[in-house]
Each structure stands twice: as C-alpha cells, then as structure tokens.
Amino acid sequence: MSERLIIFDTTLRDGEQSPGASMTRDEKLRIARQLERMRVDVIEAGFAAASNGDFESVRAVAETIRESTVCSLARASESDIRRAGEAIKPAASGRIHTFIATSPIHMEKKLRMTPDQVVAQAIKSVGWALEYTDDVEFSAEDAVRSDIDFLVRVFTDVIKAGARTINVPDTVGYSVPAQWAERMKQLIERVPGADTVIWSTHCHNDLGMAVANSLAAVMAGARQVECTINGLGERAGNASLEEIVMAVRTRRDVFGLETRIDATQIVPASRLVSTITGYPVQPNKAVVGANAFAHESGIHQDGVLKHRETYEIMRAEDVGWNTNKLVLGKHSGRNAFRARLNDLGIVVESEEQLNVAFAAFKELADKKHEIFDEDLQALMSDESVTPEEELYKLVAMSVRSETGETPHAAVTLIDAGREATVESKGSGPVDAAFRAIEMVAASKAELLLYSVNAITTGTDAQGEVTVRLAKGGRIVNGQGADTDIIVASAKAYINALNKLRGGQKLNPQGESPI
C-alpha cells in the first residue's frame, strides 16, 4: 500500500488573509463542512487569538466537524496558545499550530529576539500547547530565509519537546523547486528524531511556484502539504489544494502516494469558496477553471472525440465537473428541498429559515425551470443573513435603460421594518440601483469590488454578483443571485450593507497580529 500524503487546508486561515476575503462564522462553517465532505485531513479553521470573531469561528468549526482534525494557529506566546487551546476544545480531533520566525531578518527586525530566545520560546510554546492536545504542529516562519543550521537546532528541540508535525514554510514565496527539495531533504537527514514526526511544507505563490515547490518538498520526504482552495491566501496566495491533490493522483507513478481526498468534491468546494470570498476563479486555472477541460482547437476536439486520453490527462467528472445534475423543479416539495440542501451540506438552522429559503426557491423555479446544485448554493448564500441581521430587504425594483438616455432605477426597500421607495439616475442601471439604495442606507461605504458570474450555462442562468464594501476598517462581501443581473446586483449590495450593519467580524487584515 502506498504512503499517505496529509492534506492540511488553510483556506479559513491563510486564505482568509487575502485582502477582502474575510468570512463570517457561518460562511466558515459552510466551507468547513465542504472540506470535511472532501475528506481533508486537517482544517486550519482560523487564528483564535486574532479576535473574538476568529475565536468563535474556530470554536464553531471544532464543535461541528467530526471527520477532519480542526486546527487553530497561534503565535509562540502563552496567551495565543491558551486561546487556541480553548477554541479547539470541542473538536473530535484538535490540533494547535504554533509558529515563530527563525530567519535573521524576522528575528532581528520584527521579533527583536536573539536566536537563543527564539529557541527557548519555541520549546515553551510546544509545552503550553501539549496541555490541550497531543497533536501539536510547529512552524518556523520564513524558513526559506533561515539559516539551515539554526533550523536544525530549533526543529531538534521542538521535536524533543513533543511537536508531532514540523512545518517548513516558504513564507515569502522566494524558493525554487530544486532548492526547496534540497532544504527538506537536508532537514530530514540532519534533524535527530526526524523519522518520528510528519514533515510538512507551506508555500506561498509570489513567484508562481507554490505548487511546484510543495511537490518538490513531497519528493524529498514531506508528508503533509498546507494548501488552500483556489490557491487563496496572503498576497499571491498559497499552493492550491486542487492542483496538489490532482498532481499526486494523476502522477501516482512519480509520487507513489495517496491522499484521502474525495476529488469529486473539488469543483463544488472551489465554487463555494469563490462565491463566499468574492474571488472569481480565472477561466484557465488548472483543474477548477471553466476552461480546464474545454478543447478549442479542431485537432484537439477531433482527438478527444476519437479517444479522450489523446488530450486529457484527467477526467472532468473525477474532479466534480458535470455533476450539476438537475436536482429540483417547480413541483418539488419542501422535504425534497430540505433533503437536497442536506446533501449539499447546507444546514438550515430553523423552520423559519427553511420557509424563507423554500419560498425563494419556488420563486426561482418559476423563472428558471432547471434548478442545479449551483443554483441552490447561490440561493442559500442569498439567504445567509439571519432575519435579525436583515436590516434592509429588497421588495421590488424597476430599471429603465435605453440607448441615448440616462439609466434610471426605482427601488423599494424595507428599512428597519419600514418600506421606502427611492429613485436615482446613474451611469448605468447598476450604478443607478446602487445610488438609489444608498439614498436610504446612507452608508457611505467604499465599493471595492463588483463582479458578476453566470452560475450555470445558458442565457437563463442566474447571474451571481459579489459586492465588496469597506467602511471604518471593515470589509465585507455581499452576494446576490437572480436571473436578472440588475436585481442580483441590488441584492448583493443590500446583503453587504446588512453585513456591515450586523455584528460581522472585522477584516482580519486590520487586526491580525501576524
């Protein structure tokens, strides 16, 4: 039997450090359930000490997830580690991931600590973490620019202290594959007790080599890869989970390793993360891009029709494409609707929420006869604001847009229980609708992002809109879906406004102590 490669997903932690990708507790829970369904080994659910919101999110994931290990990041400080330990307490299997920087530039300029102090702090940190769980991971931040002899020293000592996983991060995305493999090989050869722990790699994508570097480390003996859905993450992102998993699987002849991942859940996970964070997936992105399995040239099409393997090394259906089977229609009942949501891992918290969602489903089924899983995902994102948080609600709208005329929108909203109708002109119908909504909300929030995507194919597809708003250091993403993209845009704007007004947590970029 081949050896296992552990897949450690950090979409909810490093992924959330992408500018504007902050997620609410409920959004994190939805992604965590999908990661569990995909059979990810470890879910890094957040950084518990970063804020109360982060603590609550990690704790909620720890309470919910049963089949994956739930992990919290913690700096190498007693207070961070105790906060992480409390957050993961309810987990069926919980891990604390503690880290401290080991490169001269970080130790001197950021930590202002001597190498001896760093080693002592690392050892103490592992000890504090062990009070909560025996599953302790240690990372040497900026290992890529750290002195190899110093890394050997730190890792030797944290292994003696009880760390079970040793993570070697390329924090700044500086390495190249041959160098990264050599570093991993040397560490495994030189660190006493190396064979008693799992070696892990965590690569950033600043030079576009995160996946290549991670796989090079795997060839050199790493047995855990830290990665994110769609390669989301700080700056240029992290190694992308889907590429790592499919490379190891497709090139089993090279790697000789197995993962536990159910690859058919990859595309649904990619879509969910893209919807929630508002980060679209580029069409030519490996595995999960819309064109990843599209053949344009006549020669290629001819080849694929004759024998698929002429131009395809993976099967689209193996990674979850084409699974958007027709699920429900106009005549489907409440129980079928509830059961399908269940299958998709969407938990409806109350009968009242189910009723609201079911009414929205019926309305959609009237406009669009074929309802796919993606439509249901979008519909439930629309309904993700709880009634208590729903300060504004769209009642009706009309837009007028004609060549040579200034577009005009009239929007009827419920504002804290009272109905108001407002009208505005704008440079386009979306602009007019947003201006009209602002006349009621007066949020003065800055619009950071507006994006539209078709959820499924065909001109009757729903348009899914993401609106990212910033105000007073907070950044929120609002989503809206509708067969009419102007209505979808208004819903997304209102959804973002409700999140701004609600008790959503702050953007982690603004408060994270990393």
Q: Which residue has the tokens 């700096």?
A: 75
Binding ligand KIV by CB under 6 A: which of 5, 8, 11, 14?
A: 14
Of the candidate spans 166-174, 251-259, 265-273, 293-301, the one that interacts with ligand KIV by CB under 6 A turns out to be 166-174
Nearer to Zn ion (CB atom), residue 14 or residue 383: 14
Instruction: Choose from Zn ion, ligand KIV, none: what does 271 bind? Cβ within 5-8 Å by kind.
Output: none
> What is the total count of residues that contact Zn ion (CB under 5 A)?
1
CB atoms under 10 Å from CB of 36, counted, come to 19
Query: What six digits make up the tokens of 144?
Result: 């890529």
Whose CA is closest to 363, among 495, 483, 488? 483
Site string for ligand KIV, 75-114 (x = CB under 6 A): ------------------------x---------------
Nearer to Zn ion (CB atom), residue 14 or residue 374: 14
Cα(352)–Cα(134) distance, integer angstroms: 42
- For residue 141, the minimal CB distance to ligand KIV (Å) is 4
By CB under 5 A, what part of segment 11-70 binds Zn ion? 14
Helices (H) and strands (E) in the chain, counts: 18, 16
Of the candidate spans 167-175, 369-377, 418-426, 484-492, the one that interacts with ligand KIV by CB under 6 A turns out to be 167-175
Cα(456)–Cα(444) distance, integer angstroms: 33
DSSP string, 343-406: HTTPPP--HHHHHHHHHHHHHHHHH-S-B-HHHHHHHHHHT-S-GGG--EEEEEEEEE--TTS-
Q: Does 142 bind Zn ion (CB under 5 A)?
A: no
Q: Does 237 bind ligand KIV (CB under 6 A)?
A: no
Nearer to Zn ion (CB atom), residue 75 or residue 499: 75
- For residue 203, the minimal CB distance to Zn ion (Å) is 8
Instruction: Choose from Zn ion, ligand KIV, none: what does 139 bind? Cβ within 5-8 Å by kind.
Output: ligand KIV
Q: Are strands 42-46 and 69-75 parallel, antiparallel or unpaired?
A: parallel
Instruction: Choose from Zn ion, ligand KIV, none: what does 382 bind? Cβ within 5-8 Å by kind.
Output: none
Nearer to ligand KIV (CB atom), residue 34 or residue 171: 171
Cα(251)–Cα(259) distance, integer angstroms: 12
Nearer to ligand KIV (CB atom), residue 47 or residue 372: 47
Q: Are strands 446-454 and 463-471 parallel, antiparallel or unpaired?
A: antiparallel
Cα(463)–Cα(488) distance, integer angstroms: 7
The pair phi, psi for residue 379, each rounded to 5°, is -60, -40
- For residue 268, the minimal CB distance to Zn ion (Å) is 25
Say if residues 248 and 220 touch (Cβ distance below 8 Å). Answer: no
CB atoms under 10 Å from CB of 79, counted, come to 11
> What is the total count of residues that contact ligand KIV (CB under 6 A)?
10
Q: Does 202 bind ligand KIV (CB under 6 A)?
A: yes
Amino acid at 400: R
Say if residues 311 and 295 touch (Cβ distance below 8 Å). Answer: yes
Binding ligand KIV by CB under 6 A: which of 27, 80, 141, 243?
A: 141
- For residue 103, the minimal CB distance to ligand KIV (Å) is 10
Q: Are strands 42-46 and 6-9 parallel, antiparallel or unpaired?
A: parallel
Q: Does 139 bind ligand KIV (CB under 6 A)?
A: yes
- For residue 330, the minimal CB distance to Zn ion (Å) is 47
- For residue 204, the minimal CB distance to ligand KIV (Å) is 6
Cα(101)–Cα(141) distance, integer angstroms: 4
- For residue 73, the minimal CB distance to Zn ion (Å) is 9
Q: Does 171 bind ligand KIV (CB under 6 A)?
A: yes
Query: What six digits make up the tokens of 323?
Result: 């699974």
By CB under 5 A, what part of segment 394-423 binds Zn ion? none
Nearer to Zn ion (CB atom), residue 51 or residue 200: 200
User: If residue 276 lies in a helix (H) or strand (E), which one and from where to where?
Assistant: helix 266-277
The pair phi, psi for residue 474, each rounded to 5°, is -105, 145
- For residue 226, the minimal CB distance to Zn ion (Å) is 7
- For residue 143, the minimal CB distance to Zn ion (Å) is 11
- For residue 144, the minimal CB distance to ligand KIV (Å) is 9
SS (H, E, C) 192-219: CCHHHCEEEEEEECCCCCHHHHHHHHHH
Residues of this chain that interact with Zn ion (CB under 5 A) are 14
Residue ranges that bind ligand KIV, judged by CB under 6 A: 14, 73, 99, 139, 141, 167, 169, 171, 202, 204
